[in-house]
Amino acid sequence: MKLKNKVSTYIMCLLMFALTLISYGQQDPQYTDYMFNPLSVNSAYAGSRGHLAIIGLYRSQWLGFEGAPRTQSFSVDSPIGKHVGLGVSLVNDELGPSEEFYFDADFSYTIPMSGSQRLSFGVKGGGKFLNIDWSKGAHQEDEDVFRNNVNNKFLPTVGAGIYYHSDKSYVGLSVPNFLTNQYYDGVQNAVDTEKLHFYLIGGYVFDVNSNVKFKPAFLAKYVKGAPLIVDLSANFMFHDVLRLGAAYRWDDSVSGLIGLQITPKFMVGYAYDYTTTPLKYFNSGTHELMLRFELISKEKQLKSPRFF
């Protein structure tokens, strides 16, 4: 009996430690399919595909774990003329008793360089509404805490990014929000100060042969006071239709990815994350579904789907 209690105590300590790291590192929503939706972290990506693109994404993290993160996002971006790109993003992010609704407008300006290489600069502006219902998941005896709910607290956002890209490769650096607003801290059950998030993304497409493409990609996120988060992925595309891949989030999870280009304009993608931290004993994994629609004109019809 004593041994069982010791084991339970040890597991709970590990669980709280893992939750602490995740709380510090995941103030912004995270995605496994980040390599197909760079606009979520870098405003300079807006319009870079050369036509209007619409992306919808649903992510349910740590299925079976009460209060785990759930995210729904919707974005639209398109070029406006030769050098300007515009985008709009809407995100609903839930974590425990908190719910945050983001809305952002993205503007990019692109400078052509040699060959197919281009350099884009972007800015982001918008805000989010923060709601916290302390009655959800709170276990405090003092019921006065329930009277201090947060209702539609508005927090502005201002960000920027730079994005260097060609037909085969890309690399970008961005800060989605320079303002140190407030956010919900799932460990302290309190409203805390948000920290700057720095994102570095990159990828390259290799032509294995006429029917197979291979794309390694990465995303690194740095937040002061938290461990560096690094996502590594590798995807293969077969006959411009089927995409299969795997990903690894450092000290967090491993993932399997699949995508199907149903038509030249419509793609569906799915990702499953298996947690590698002690949280794996308390959940059955993370599911992410992505839909992408592209309005490609006959004059600009692509010979094959873009791999990023």
Mean pLDDT of 74-99: 94
Using 50, 70 and 90 to split pLDDT, how confident is the model at 249?
very high
Share above pLDDT 70 across residues of the chain, in percent, rounded to a whole number: 80
Q: Establish if 153 belongs to a structural domain.
A: yes
Using 50, 70 and 90 to split pLDDT, how confident is the model at 203?
very high
What is the spatial distance between Cα 137 and Cα 129, in angstroms, rounded to a whole number?
Answer: 20
Q: Establish if 246 belongs to a structural domain.
A: yes
Q: Establish if 303 belongs to a structural domain.
A: no
* pLDDT tens sequence across 47-80: 999 999 999 999 999 998 888 999 999 999 999 9
Q: Establish if 300 belongs to a structural domain.
A: no
Three-class DSSP labels, 184-235: EECCCCEEEECCCEEEEEEEECEECCCCEEEEEEEEEEEECCCCCEEEEEEE
What integer pLDDT is reported at residue 297 of this predicted model? 60
Q: Establish if 290 belongs to a structural domain.
A: yes
Q: Establish if 307 belongs to a structural domain.
A: no
* pLDDT tens sequence across 159-193: 999 999 999 999 999 999 998 765 555 544 555 56
What is the spatial distance between Cα 258 and Cα 76, in angstroms, rounded to a whole number?
Answer: 22
Q: Which amino acid is at 173?
A: L
Q: Establish if 302 belongs to a structural domain.
A: no
Check the CA dihedral 233-77-166-121 and report its sign. negative
Global pTM? 0.83
Q: Which amino acid is at 82?
A: K
Residue 40, classed as helix, strand or coil, is helix
Q: Establish if 301 belongs to a structural domain.
A: no
What is the spatial distance between Cα 218 and Cα 298, in angstroms, rounded to a whole number?
Answer: 33
How many folded domains does the chain comprise? 1
Instruction: Please report, for the domain that includes residue 92, its CATH number.
Output: 2.40.160.40
What is the domain extent for residue 128? 2-295
- Please tell me which residue, 249 or 189, carries the higher pLDDT value: 249
